[in-house]
Amino acid sequence: MPGENLSREEARERAAILSVERYDVALDVRSAAGAAPAGGERTFRSTTVIDFRCASPAASSFADLVASEVVSVRLNGRELDPAAVWDGARIALEGLAERNTLVVDARCAYSRTGEGLHRFEDPEDGEVYLYTQYEPADARRVFANFEQPDLKAPFTFQVTAPESWTVLSNAEPDGEPAAADGGGATTRFRPTLPIPTYITAVVAGPYHVERDHYSRTFDDKVTLDVPLSALCRRSLARHFDADEIFTVTKQGLDFYHDAFDYPYPFGKYDQAFVPEYNIGAMENPGCVTFREEFVFRGKVTRASYEHRASVVLHEMAHMWFGDLVTMRWWDDLWLKESFADFMAAFSQVAATQYTEGWITFANRRKSWAYRADQLPSTHPVVADIRDLEDAKLNFDGITYSKGASVLKQLVAYVGEDAFMEAARRYFKRHAYGNTELADLLSVLTETSGRDMPAWSRAWLETAGVNSLTPQVVHDAEDRITELAVLQTADDPAHPQLRPHRVAVGLYRRVPGGALERYARAETDVAGPVTVVAELAGQPRPDLVLVNDDDLTYCKVRFDQDSLDTLRSHLGDLSDPLARALAWSAVWSMTRDAVMPAGDYLGLVLLFAGRESDIGVLQSLHLQARTALTHYVAPDRRDLAAAELARGALQELRLAEPGSGHQLAWARFFASVATSAADLQLLRGLLDGTAKVDGLVVDQELRWTLLGALTAQGAADTAAIAAERARDDTASGHRHEVRCLAARPSAEVKGAAWADVVDSDALSNALVEATIAGFAQAGQRELLAPFTGRYFAALEELWASRSIETAMAVVTGLFPALQDAQETLAATDGWLDGHPDAAPALRRLVLEGRDDLARAHRAQMCDTRAADAARPGAAI
C-alpha cells in the first residue's frame, strides 16, 4: 500500500517539526460479537483526537492510518475530504498551525493475522476475544496516529464493548463503565504517562481474571502499591496456574526495584495470555500480552516453566528499558531488546527458583545468536534500519541474544556495580524520553572509567562472531609451558577481532571418572594470540575450555587433546554450565562442517541420557533432529534415524517414571520413529494398549503421537477426526490442521499449499499449523514439485499479505528439504532475476539459501567421514 512502509528519513523529518501533546482514542468494538455482517468485512469504529504542535507553522506533514473507511477528517476545525487527503495509509496534513487538533473518524477492520486489533472466536464455547499487537507499527490499523517511537505522548482510551466483557488498557479505568447508547458499556481509562504508539494496548472479551497485588516501601516512607491481574480465555481457566505467574511477577518487581532504584512507574500490572499470538509476549506498560501457549494444557517439563518465567521477566525489564526510556528509531532496538534479554536471565538466577538461567542462556539463546550472526543478513547490534520492513525483520537473534551476550561481556568488562549504576543514571536522566547509542555510552563511561566508544565500535557497531581456540604446549613432565588463546574471524566479510574478557578452565578426570576443573584464569584476550601466563606450570589437562563460565560471545573451539576427551567423556563434565558450553561448541562445529554430523549424533546417543539439565536435553533433541534432517549424508539418513530411535526408546525406558526427562524422551522418540515396530508402539501408547511406566499420555502428548503417525502414513483422517472430537478446542483445531497437512499424499500437499499461498482465508495460527504439517522431513519427494511454485509466488505473496503472514509463508515454505544442488541454483536464479524485490523479502530468501548451502557443506563433511571409516579406506 502506498505510504505504508515509513522510512527513517521520513520519521526524522516529521519528528523535527512535530511534537504530540495528547491522544484521545475512542473504540467501539461491540461489532466483534454477534453475527457477521452480510457480504462485508467485520469492522469497528475508531475516533481519534490528537493535539500536537508544529515547530514550522504552514508546514505540511501526515498522520498514519490503515482503515477500511475514513468517515471524516477535521484539522483545526476544518473539514477535509477523506478521498483527497487519505491514500489508504496516510492522511495528508497541509498548512499546519503552531498548535493543532486533528480529529479522525474511521472504520477499521478486525485482524486475523495478529496485527492490529485481533479477533478470535473460541470454538469450544463461541466466546469472542480481542487484543491488540502493534510492534513495530500496527497501531495505525486501530487508530490514527504518528506511528514512530520518538513521538511519545499521553494516551486516553475509551472502549465501548459488550457489557459482560472485561476491558483493559494501559491505565486504570477512570470510574465505573457507563451504559452506552444502543447497548453495551463504555470504559474510559485514565491518561497514560508519555509512551510511544507501539506499546499502547486494548484487551477485551469475557476473559477469566485472577487478581493479586504487589507492595513495596521505599526509604521507610513511600509505599508503592501495584494491582496485579492475570487473564486467559475462560475455556483455558482450568489449566491456568496464575499463582505461579504472580510469584515470578513479585520476585521480578522486587529485583528490578533493587537493581534500578526507580519505582515501577505505570500503576497496575496486568498480564493477559491471548489466543493466536504471533510472538512470545509484548511489553505494553500496565497491560502485558503473552502467547496463550504459556498456559500449559498438559504436562510439560521444568524447562517450559523456566522459559515462561524468563519471558515474564523479559517483559518486565522493558517497563524500564523501552517503555520508560524508548529508542529514538528502530536502529537502536537493541537498547530495549538486548537489555531485556540479558536482564531476564540475570534476574531469573538472582531472584527465582530457576537458578539454571545462565545454562539455558548459554545453550539456547546464544545458539540463536550464533546462527543469526553467520547468515549473510547479519548486522551490527546497532543496526542500519532504513524503514519499517527492515525493522520488522530486525527482531532477530542479533538484536536479542547477541546483544544480551554482549551485555554479559560488558558486565565482565566494567563490573556489575558500574553496569547497574549506569542503568540507574540512564533511567533518571532520560525518563519518558528517547535515546540512542551515545546516551547509554555516556553513562557507562561515567560509571566505569572505561573507553566505551572503543568498546562499542568493537562489539556493537560491527557484525560477525569470533572463534577462540586454545593452543597448549607441554614439557616432558606433562606440565603446561605455554597456553595461548588464538582468535580468528571466520568470515572474511567481517574480519573484526574483538577484546574479550574470558575465563579459561583446565579440566581433568578424577577418581570415579568425573571431569572436573582444577585451574582457572580470567584474562583479557585481544588480537590474534593471547598468552595466558597464569596457567603456565599447571599439570597437563584433559580438556581446556576457553570461555569457561560463558563470559564472552564467541565460538569455542578445542585443541586435539580436548576434542578427543570430549568424544569419550563429554557426559563426565560435572559442572552443568561447562557441560552446556561443551554441547554448544560441538553443535557449532557440526553446523560449520568441522565435526561430521554422524559424530555429533554419536555424542547425543552416548551422553544425552546422562544430561541432568532438562533444558539442555531438549536442546540436544532439537539439534539432533536438525542434524538428521539437514546435515547427515543423504545415504546415511535412514540408518541414523534408526539409531536415534533405538537410543531414544532405550532412554525413554530408563528415565525416571513421571519425570520431565521421560516426557522429553517420549516426544523425541515420536519425532524420529519410522520402523513398523516403533510406529506400533506409538499407536499402542495412543490407544492405551501399550504403556511406559509413569508416562502420562495426556491430550498434548496424544497429538504429538498422532502427528508422528500421520506423517508416516500410519493414521488416517478418521483418527484425526476422532482426536479432534476428544479435543474440541482452539488448540485441538490447530493440531488437527497440522496433522491433516502432514499426511503423505500429493493431493494433501497441494491442498495445504493452496490454503496458505493461493488464499488468505486462514488466520495466522492456522497458517502456522498448516506450514508445520506441510514440511515433513520424510516427504522430500512429495514436496519437490513445489520448489518452482515457491519462487514463482514470492513477489505476489509479499505484495498482497500482511508482513507477519508473508514472513511466515516465505520462511516456512522455503524448499529447505530439497537439498540437491538444483535448489541452490533455483534460489540463485530468483535472487539474480529479482534485484529490485523488496529488501526484506530478499533477506529472507538469502537466509534460506545460506541454510541450504550450510547443509550441503555439512553433508559433504559427513560423507567424507563415513567414506574414511569404511573398511579398506585409504589412510
Which residues have a Cβ under 8 Å from the Cβ of 442 and sit 6 or more positions away? none
State the alpha helices, DSSP H only, in 235-318: 242-260, 302-318
Could you tell me what percentage of the chain is helix, strand and coil, using 3-state DSSP and rounding each to the nearest 5?
45, 20, 30
CA contacts within 13 A on the Cβ side of 582: 30
**DSSP E strand stretches across 526-628:** 529-531, 543-548, 555-556
Asked whether the beta carbons of 855 and 819 are under 8 A apart, the reply is yes
Cell 447508547, residue?
181
611 is an active site residue: no
Report CA torsion sign: 251, 254, 258, 260.
positive
Q: Are strands 287-291 and 269-274 parallel, antiparallel or unpaired?
A: parallel
* CA distance linking residue 525 with residue 538, whole number of Å: 20
* CA distance linking residue 121 with residue 29, whole number of Å: 14
* CA distance linking residue 168 with residue 191, whole number of Å: 13
Angle between helices 699-711 and 717-726 (to 10 degrees): 170
Report CA torsion sign: 598, 602, 605, 607.
negative
Q: Which three cell numbers stand for residue 411?
A: 558486565
Segment (H or E) for 782: helix 780-783
Segment (H or E) for 51: strand 43-54
Whether omega for the bond prior to residue 835 falls within 30 degrees of 0, making it cis, is no
* CA distance linking residue 14 with residue 8, whole number of Å: 10
Q: Which three cell numbers stand for residue 668?
A: 523425541
Q: Contacts by 556-565 with C-beta closer than 8 Å and gap 24+?
A: 556/467, 556/468, 556/581, 556/584, 556/585, 556/588, 557/467, 557/468, 557/469, 557/470, 557/585, 557/589, 557/594, 558/469, 558/470, 558/585, 559/469, 559/470, 559/471, 559/472, 561/472, 562/470, 565/507, 565/515
* CA distance linking residue 440 with residue 301, whole number of Å: 38
Which residues have a Cβ under 8 Å from the Cβ of 360 and sit 6 or more positions away? 303, 306, 307, 310, 345, 613, 615, 616
Q: What is the 3-state secondary structure (H, E, C) of 674-697?
A: CCHHHHHHHHHHHHCCCCCCCCCC
* CA distance linking residue 437 with residue 431, whole number of Å: 16
Q: Which of 572, 546, 507, 552 is nearest to 361 (CA)?
A: 552
Segment (H or E) for 824: helix 821-833
Which residues have a Cβ under 8 Å from the Cβ of 391 and sit 6 or more positions away? 136, 137, 330, 333, 385
* CA distance linking residue 460 with residue 408, whole number of Å: 13
Angle between helices 242-260 and 416-430 (to 10 degrees): 90
* CA distance linking residue 108 with residue 200, whole number of Å: 17
Which residues have a Cβ under 8 Å from the Cβ of 227 and sit 6 or more positions away? 172, 211, 213, 267, 268, 269
Q: Are strands 69-75 and 78-80 parallel, antiparallel or unpaired?
A: antiparallel
Which amino acid appears at position 734 of this protein? R
Catalytic choice (315, 611, 736, 804)? 315
Asked whether the beta carbons of 111 and 132 are under 8 A apart, the reply is no
Which residues have a Cβ under 8 Å from the Cβ of 511 and sit 6 or more positions away? none
Catalytic residue ranges: 315
